[in-house]
Amino acid sequence: MERRYEPPMEDEREVLGKGTVSLSTATVPQPLLGSYLPVNPVQRYTFKKWAPDDWNRNIETKRFQSNRDRDASRVLRSEAKELIASSTTKSNRTQTEVTERLGERVQSISYWKFELERGIQDMTSEIDLMVDEIRRVENAIQATESPMLIARDCLANRQRRIDSDLVQDDAEKALLKELEIITDVRDTLKRTLENARDQQSTNRDCKHQLEMDWSDKFSANHLDSKSVSLKNSRGNIVYKAGSAIYKEVESHPENWLEFSQANLRRSEQEREASMRLRGSMAATLSRTSQDMREQADRVEGALNRRVAETEEAARHLETELKETVEEITGLEATIDQLKEAHWEKQKPLKVAQTRLSNRHLRPNVELCRDDPAHGLIEEVDELEKDLRRLELTTDHAEDRLRDLQHTRLSLEKELDIKRNSLIIDRDRCLKVRGMFPSTNLLSGYRNTTAL
């Protein structure tokens, strides 16, 4: 309850501070324990002294001042007590509310820190999976080098075919197509690898952003948790002058929340894009490896067919050569027989001509065209005709022999061509194509079985 005061009397302390005025004597302020003495020493014992009423009023003033000071002190103590109680209650309530807010903040930070941890784990797993896919693509690109060398080696070897066998057959067309497919596959895989590396760089950037956000929240969670644990009676609490201000770089709660949400949203979007790209990469590897393997099978099929055709042609040529050689042998024997017959026919002709020559020596009338003369002339004519026919037949036989010998040379040459082609296609191309990578290797797997 407030106490009402009457107008106070003049405080003696003010009088003592200002001094008093008498009728004829001037005074000066003196210390409280001193006396008010005239200025003139002569009048020290003659100046007017205080009256009894002044003395009583002085005592009353003392009492009044004492009561007033005590009342003011009591009021002040009451107000101080109320202030202490109200300020304590208010500060405790405020501290409790702030502690609760800090606790809620710690929970919010912990929640988003957990979400960030999960996002980091998901992105880390995706990065690891993408690393495997990138390694597969790199292995697949490296695996195409062998088919490329094999195809080029086969084409180079088949360029060594000679004469009539140097044709652009189905096998060569298949090899050229295989070379084209391998080149396209390498270009496709290189583009895929470039896209995968770009995506992997984005994935790592997203992970880095999440880790930075998580690190900041870890520090904030530690500091706020430490702040929550601080008590009035314990903890490292000290005065921090100038701490009750807002920093210029502080973020707003909406921005704080949106920052983590944006990081997680971007990370999830990039992770989904990375997953789609990995699926596309797997499909590309499967398709390209299958395309190369199927074309390799077509090449080997064409080579096998060509080898079979060449082997069959070689067998026919060998048969023809064998029969031609046999015919040459028979014709040579016939020519020998013709020459022998021609030689033998010369003897009867000589006999007949000698007889005619002898009979032409008959004298006079004895030189008669008798039957022997007719017979000898007919015999000579017949023998000469036979000799001419034998000579003509021998000439024809020798012409046929030369033709057969030329045919034999041609057959032998053609057979050599076919044998050369067989060496190239069967012994070189098909043999080297046995080293063609498997589908698993072309798909980027290092092992012989798919993982």
pLDDT tens per residue across span 179-189: 999 999 999 99
Kindly give the interhelix angle for 145-158 and 52-143, rounded to the nearest 10 degrees: 20
Q: What are the distances in angstroms from CA 67 to CA 4, 5, 70, 82, 270? A: 13, 11, 5, 22, 83
Q: What amino acid is encoded at 131 in this protein?
A: V
pLDDT digits (tens, 9 = 90+) for 64-98: 899 998 889 999 999 889 988 988 899 889 888 98
Q: What is the DSSP string of 316-358?
A: HHHHHHHHHHHHHHHHHHHHHHHHHHHHHHHHHHHHHHHHHHH
Is the pLDDT score of 17 beyond 50?
no
Task: Count the neighbouring beta carbons within 10 Å of the beta carbon of residue 143.
Answer: 23
Q: What whole-number distance in Å separates Cα of residue 429 and Cα of residue 157?
A: 7
Quote the pLDDT of residue 30.
Answer: 45
The answer on pLDDT for 450 being more than 50 is: no
For the four alpha carbons of 232, 237, 240 and 244, in that order, the dihedral sign comes to: negative
Helix H or strand E encompassing 177:
helix 170-229
For residues 210 and 266, what is the distance between their CA atoms, to the nearest angstrom? 10
**Share of residues in the chain with pLDDT > 70 (%):** 85
Given CA atoms 195, 197, 199, 202 in this order, what sign does their dihedral have? negative
Q: pLDDT tens digits for 347-360?
A: 888 888 888 888 88
pLDDT (0 to 100) of residue 58: 85
Comparing 122 with 244, the larger pLDDT belongs to 122
Q: Looking at residues 431-440, what average pLDDT do you find?
A: 92
pLDDT tens for each residue of 153-166: 999 999 999 988 89
Burial class (CB in 10 A: 0-12, 13-18, 19+), 27: middle
Q: How confident is the model at residue 59 (pLDDT cuts 50, 70, 90)?
A: confident
CATH number attached to the domain at 94-229+256-310: 1.10.287
Query: Mean pLDDT score of the chain, rounded to an integer?
Result: 85
Which pair of tokens denotes residue 262? Answer: 């944006």
In whole angstroms, give the CA distance from residue 309 to residue 418.
10
**Residue appearing with tokens 């784990």:** 121
What distance in Å separates the CA atoms of residue 58 and residue 288, rounded to the nearest whole number?
119
Kindly report, residue by residue over 186-200, the tens digit of the pLDDT: 999 999 999 999 999
- Least confident stretch, 164-168, 180-184, 244-248, 387-391: 244-248
Q: Are 136 and 443 in contact (CB under 8 A)?
A: yes
Give the least confident one: 7-16, 40-49, 75-84, 121-130: 7-16
Q: Which of 343, 342, 345 is nearest to 390 (CA)?
A: 342
Segment 259-306, tens digit of pLDDT: 999 999 999 999 999 999 999 999 999 999 999 999 999 999 999 999
- pLDDT of 22 reads 43
Q: Are 127 and 204 in contact (CB under 8 A)?
A: yes
Q: What ranges do the domains of the chain cover?
A: 12-82, 94-229+256-310, 324-359+370-433
Closest CA to 162 of 332, 399, 430, 415: 415
Strand, coil or helix: what is 305?
Answer: helix
Q: What is the pLDDT of residues 104-157, one digit of tens each?
A: 989 999 999 999 999 999 999 999 999 999 999 999 999 999 999 999 999 999
pLDDT higher than threshold 70 for residue 247: no
How far is Cα of residue 198 from the mean position of the Cα atoms in its chain?
A: 7
Q: Which two tokens stand for residue 369?
A: 């065209």
Spell out a b/e string for 106-139, using b for 16 or more CB atoms within 10 Å of the CB, else e. bebbeebbebbeebbebbeebbeebeebbebbeb
Burial code of 318-347, b = ≥16 C-beta within 10 A, e = fewer?
A: eebbeebeeebeebeeebeebeebbeebee
**Share above pLDDT 90 across residues of the chain, in percent, rounded to a whole number:** 55
pLDDT band at 32 (very low <50, low <70, confident <90, very high): very low
- The pLDDT of residue 365: 81
Q: Which residue has the tokens 């106490």?
A: 3
Residue 27 has pLDDT above 70, yes or no: no
Is residue 37 predicted with pLDDT exceeding 60?
no
> What's the pLDDT score for residue 241?
66
